[in-house]
Amino acid sequence: MSDSGASLKQSFLGALQASLSVLLTLGYGVLAAKLSLVHPAIVGDVSGLCVKMFLPALLITSIGRQLTLESVGNYAPIFIWGMAYTFTSITIGTLGKRVTNLPDWIIPAVAFNNTTSLPLLLVQALAATGILKGIADGDQRGAVERARSYFLINSMVSNTLMFALGPKLMDKTGSGGADDGDTEAQDDRDTDENTPLLPAPVRVRVRSMQSIAHRQFNKLPRRVRSTLSFAGDMVNPPLVGAVIAAFIGLTPPLHKAFFADMEDGGIFRAWLTSSISNIGDLFTSLQMFVVGSQLYASLNPDHEVGEMPKRGIAFVWGIRFLFWPAVSIPTVYCLARNNFLGDDPMAWFSMMLMPAGPSAMMMSSLVEINGNSQKDKMAVARFLTISYAITPIICFMVVGSLKTSEMAIRV
């Protein structure tokens, strides 16, 4: 009993240290912004760079390395679980908004959590504490790499749904395309405000082709247009990175060329794979640093803040930090116990953690896209700041997930 108590205490302290490590990384970004070491415009550019370049690179190297024809079945439960809990969260958020008459940004706050930088940094910190040994099967480094690939698959699912459904969940007006007059007006503004890089005849030809394509698109049935627009919304850099990773991983000659040792045929590993890995590895800590810098702006007392209903914040936190841990841990345990999730305890542990945690930082972009007022934008920023400040409470879920995964091994 005393050994069990000591083990539980060690696990809790390890999880707490890992959570504090994540919070400190966030805090360094806040400090850099406070000291004016980073400019807000630069922070925005770096954030976009992280999502559009560094994250796809990380997906290519991490998922591509782990995904093979033999292991592809291990990722199916991750994909299904990511879809299931996200759509469940969307349903809960929609019902909660209707019943309690909350602001429209409550729905994406409930629906989408931080599925990339936070869990990746957390797993990295957990590995440093050594508390994952019980579910690592003697290879903690390999187990952490698998966990990274699981979280990245889930991130791909979450980001795709967020880009596609997020604006619609906030009652975004418009179909995603302007009419001909608006398009031409925008072209005129662009011509007036920016020096054109293409010759005039080429610009005219391009505009003509765009206009023809737009008119042809409008001739399609409404249902077809909606389907095509939805499909277009789903295409984003993380999804492209995941598709490339799957293509490389599931093509044996390419998998060997990218990830095998040089003497075994890994002709790309030492230079191409290594270079992609170098920029991919920048994502995890840099993204959390950028999040901290972005959150600092919300602390400016000169900014007017819109409505932050206490019941709305309590509702979001209740779903993100209480409801999902209470549901995901026993659900994944039962599935693992009945051999529906394969035999990798790191997959079970990762799945238990996936639905929980603070709302996604992408919420701020959704509010921008939706055209909310400046007060609403600042309200969302303040909400995110507070949410990330209390992030260390997930250490309780980490311990619960860890111990439950260990129990599933022994069953």
Do the domain assignments include residue 205?
A: no
- pLDDT at residue 201, as a whole number: 63
Could you list the residue range(s) of the whole structural domain that residue 260 is in? 2-171+236-410
Do the domain assignments include residue 188?
A: no
Residue with the bigger pLDDT between 346 and 39: it is 346
Do the domain assignments include residue 277?
A: yes
- pLDDT at residue 193, as a whole number: 37
Residue with the bigger pLDDT between 59 and 231: it is 59
What is the C-alpha to C-alpha distance for residues 58 and 283, in angstroms, rounded to an integer? 7
Q: Given a cut of 80, is residue 226 above it in pLDDT?
A: no
pLDDT band at 129 (very low <50, low <70, confident <90, very high): confident
- pLDDT at residue 57, as a whole number: 92
Rg (CA), the chain: 23
Report the interhelical angle of 395-410 vs 2-34 (nearest 10°).
140
- pLDDT at residue 390, as a whole number: 87
Average pLDDT, the chain: 81
What is the C-alpha to C-alpha distance for residues 385 and 391, in angstroms, rounded to an integer? 10
- pLDDT at residue 388, as a whole number: 86
Do the domain assignments include residue 216?
A: no
CATH number of domain containing 62? 1.20.1530
**Which pLDDT tens digit goes with each residue over 60-119?**
998 888 888 888 888 899 999 999 999 999 999 999 888 877 888 888 899 999 888 888
Mean pLDDT of 13-31: 86
What is the C-alpha to C-alpha distance for residues 404 and 411, in angstroms, rounded to an integer? 11
> What is the model's pTM?
0.78
Do the domain assignments include residue 20?
A: yes
Mean pLDDT of 380-388: 84
> Which one, of 290, 387, 302, 377, lies nearest residue 40 by Cα?
290
- pLDDT at residue 90, as a whole number: 93
User: How many angstroms from the chain centroid is the CA of residue 141?
Assistant: 23
What is the C-alpha to C-alpha distance for residues 403 and 407, in angstroms, rounded to an integer? 6
Task: Please tell me whether residue 71 adopts helix, strand or coil conformation.
Answer: coil
- Per the structure, how many domains does the chain have? 1
Residues near 348 by beta carbon (within 8 Å), at least 6 away in sequence:
135, 332, 333, 336, 341, 404, 405, 408
- pLDDT at residue 150, as a whole number: 93
**Choice among 37-51, 178-192, 348-362 with the minimum mean pLDDT:** 178-192
Do the domain assignments include residue 230?
A: no
The answer to whether 149 touches 62, Cβ cutoff 8 Å, is yes
Q: Given a cut of 70, is residue 30 above it in pLDDT?
A: yes
What is the C-alpha to C-alpha distance for residues 162 and 45, in angstroms, rounded to an integer? 20
pLDDT band at 217 (very low <50, low <70, confident <90, very high): low
Residue with the bigger pLDDT between 170 and 369: it is 170
- Looking at mean pLDDT, say which of 2-16, 192-206, 231-245 comes out highest: 231-245
- pLDDT at residue 337, as a whole number: 92
**Residues 153, 158, 161, 162: is their CA dihedral positive or negative?**
negative
pLDDT band at 291 (very low <50, low <70, confident <90, very high): confident
**Residue 13 CB: number of other CB atoms within 10 A?**
14
Residue with the bigger pLDDT between 271 and 187: it is 271
- pLDDT at residue 256, as a whole number: 93
**Which pLDDT tens digit goes with each residue over 146-155?**
999 999 899 8
pLDDT band at 257 (very low <50, low <70, confident <90, very high): very high
- pLDDT at residue 370, as a whole number: 63
pLDDT band at 161 (very low <50, low <70, confident <90, very high): confident
- pLDDT at residue 331, as a whole number: 96
pLDDT band at 214 (very low <50, low <70, confident <90, very high): low
Do the domain assignments include residue 54?
A: yes
Mean pLDDT of 227-254: 83
Do the domain assignments include residue 367?
A: yes
